[in-house]
Amino acid sequence: MSLASIRSGERFLADAEATAAFGRELAVALREQRGAVIHLRGTLGAGKTTLARELLRALGVTGTIRSPTYTLMEPYELPDRRVLHMDLYRIEASDLDQLGLDDYPPEETLWLVEWPEKGGAGVPRADLDLLLEPAGEGRKLQISTRSPPASGNSPDFT
């Protein structure tokens, strides 16, 4: 399985458990795909960290999973891959260069980036873009996937 198994479109996540369940679904999709860039967008408190935390847990991260709110990035070394969880809400554009991101090539690293728009051009392009928006008591999730560049065509969101 790969991210190709995730369909673009809209879903309703009724509660935090539904957000977590989608995180677990992503972990299954990523079982045979080590590297990917996932953008997690949405307002403060939309559920980005909830989703990332459950995905990390399902990929095998043990122990405390801290929100990268202040540290900007939390790297994880798993037996099969490297994962980078970022929250760029507080980043100054110039700081991105100092995070040592060259050590995390997107082909071999799973990037989970909250507030990717704050990082500007220094943030790699999304293979999967997730937008969470408040909807009543729950959240609306907008999923946009990009076909892999292997197709030879210029990659487009579908």
Ligand X SMILES: Nc1ncnc2c1ncn2[C@@H]1O[C@H](COP(=O)(O)OP(=O)(O)OP(=O)(O)O)[C@@H](O)[C@H]1O
Contacts with ligand X, residue ranges (CB under 6 A): 13, 15-16, 18-19, 42, 44-50, 87, 114, 138-139
Q: Which is nearer to ligand X, 44 or 150 (CB)?
A: 44
Note whether 119 and 72 are within 8 A (CB): no
Q: Which stretch binds Mg ion (CB under 5 A): 12-20, 40-48, 75-83, 94-102?
A: 40-48
Q: Which of the listed partners (Mg ion, ligand X, none) does 45 bind, with a CB threshold of 5 to 8 Å by partner kind?
A: ligand X
53 near Mg ion, rule: CB under 5 A:
no
Does the footprint of Mg ion cover residue 48 (CB under 5 A)?
Answer: yes
Shortest separation between residue 84's beta carbon and Mg ion, angstroms:
15
Give the DSSP letter string of the chain.
--GGGSPPEEEEE-SHHHHHHHHHHHHHHTTT---EEEEEEESTTSSHHHHHHHHHHHHT--S----TTTTSEEEEE-SS-EEEEEE-TT--GGGGGGG-GGGS-TTTEEEEEESGGGGGGGSPPPSEEEEEEEETTEEEEEEEEB--GGGSSPP-B-
74 binds, among Mg ion, ligand X, none (CB under 5 to 8 A by kind): none
Among 19, 49, 109, 145, binds Mg ion (CB under 5 A): 49
Spatial distance between the Cα atoms of 158 and 143, rounded to a whole number of angstroms = 10
Instruction: Name the minimum Å distance from CB 16 to ligand X.
Output: 3
Binding piece for Mg ion, criterion CB under 5 A, among 28-36, 45-53, 96-104, 121-129: 45-53
Contact of residue 54 among Mg ion, ligand X, none (CB under 5-8 Å per partner type): none
Q: Are 158 and 147 in contact (CB under 8 A)?
A: yes
Contact set for Mg ion, span 101-130 (CB under 5 A):
114
CB of 113 to ligand X, least distance (A): 11
Query: What's the rounded Cα separation, in Å, for the pair 154 and 44?
Result: 33
